[in-house]
Amino acid sequence: MQKDRFKLEQKYYLRAQDVDIKGEWMPSAIFVRMQEIAEDHATSVGAGRVDLVDKKGLGWVLTRMAVDMNSYPKIGQTIRVATWPLKPTRLIFLRQFQFSDMDGNILGMASSQWVLFDIGARTLKRTTVLGDYPYDPALPAVMEEPGKIILPAAMEKRKTRTVLYSDVDMNVHMNNTKYLNWICELFPSAMLEKQRLERIRINYIAEAYIDQQVDLYMQEEGGGWFVCGKTGDKTVFDAFVTWKG
């Protein structure tokens, strides 16, 4: 593991739990790895769970994620995952990720937006509440910031999912990594056996809680697929994905 105050890089060995039916890194597992290394880096600079939740009543909330994959590593491979923050805005913390094989070939990259949430007051906090959050202006943005997803005017309802025990985290709402499984499972298995997600864009808009039903809508447009999850009239998440063979 390589670590400094501004950047964290970890080696990760892909096991059976990390891969899909092709034996390749599963999209939801990519999101798990990003979530965990982000937490590790935040902890190393005094902004982890114990520092925020236990001492200040604050929590990190992931609001947007964009991922571009060049190629997918397979089971048994060791890869490198790196993360570093960019300069925060008034309300948003920006974090970049990069995945590479042990020869230095870039497998993929990601850009994310996070906010700080006051758990008791249920309000957002300014980034300055953490003081001068450490970032290195010399570290590049490998991807542009994830933007708002503009959905097509008409989308087809494809499925209704119930948020189950295996979908939720310790806060009893759906974990951000699980939405990738829901998105992939909207496509036929024959497609999943042959194709891979190339671009993933997802906006997390509202929480979905255990036992809640979420209606999933989808529409092919703009060279990819738009996906939206709703509970009644409330949007839970929006996404846009493209596939490659």
CB 159 within 8 A of CB 78: no
Identify which of 7, 27, 21 has the alpha carbon closest to the alpha carbon of residue 241: 27
With cut-offs at 50, 70 and 90, classify the pLDDT of residue 2. Answer: low
Domains 2-130 and 156-244 alike in fold: yes
Residue 1 has pLDDT above 70, yes or no: no
Stretch 181-196: mean pLDDT: 97
**Residue 65: other Cβ atoms inside 10 A:** 25
From the options 3.10.129.10, 1.10.3210.10, 3.30.420.40, 3.40.720.10, give the CATH code of 2-130: 3.10.129.10
pLDDT at position 238, please?
A: 98
Residue 126 has pLDDT above 90, yes or no: yes
Which tens digits make up the pLDDT trace of 5-25? 899 999 999 999 999 999 999
For the chain, give every domain's residue range: 2-130, 156-244
Stretch 162-176: mean pLDDT: 95
pLDDT at position 53, please?
A: 86
pLDDT at position 54, please?
A: 86
Stretch 34-48: mean pLDDT: 96
Give me the chain's average pLDDT, please: 96
Which tens digits make up the pLDDT trace of 127-161? 999 999 999 999 999 999 999 999 999 999 999 99
pLDDT at position 150, please?
A: 97
With cut-offs at 50, 70 and 90, classify the pLDDT of residue 72. Answer: very high
Residue 4 has pLDDT above 90, yes or no: no
Q: What is d(CA 79, CA 76) in angstroms, rounded to the nearest whole number?
A: 10
Q: What is the 3-state secondary structure (H, E, C) of the chain?
A: CEECCCCEEEEEECCHHHECCCCEECHHHHHHHHHHHHHHHHHHCCCCHHHHHHHHCEEEEEEEEEEEECCCCECCCEEEEEEEECCCCCCCEEEEEEEEECCCCEEEEEEEEEEEEECCCCEEECHHHHCCCCCCCCCCCCCCCCCCCCCCCCCEEEEEEECCHHHECCCCEECCCHHHHHHHCCCCHHHHHHCEEEEEEEEECCCCECCCEEEEEEEEECCEEEEEEEECCEEEEEEEEEEEC
pLDDT at position 89, please?
A: 96
Residue 71 has pLDDT above 90, yes or no: yes
With cut-offs at 50, 70 and 90, classify the pLDDT of residue 74. Answer: very high
Question: In this structure, what token pair is assigned to residue 150?
Answer: 């503009």
Question: In this structure, what token pair is assigned to residue 224?
Answer: 């990819």
Stretch 47-69: mean pLDDT: 93
pLDDT at position 174, please?
A: 97
CATH topology for 156-244 is: Thiol Ester Dehydrase; Chain A (3.10.129)
Residue 63 has pLDDT above 90, yes or no: yes
Q: Could you give the dihedral angle defined by the CA atoms of residues 240, 144, 8 and 56, in that order, rounded to the nearest 10 degrees?
A: -80
* pLDDT-above-90 percentage for the chain: 93
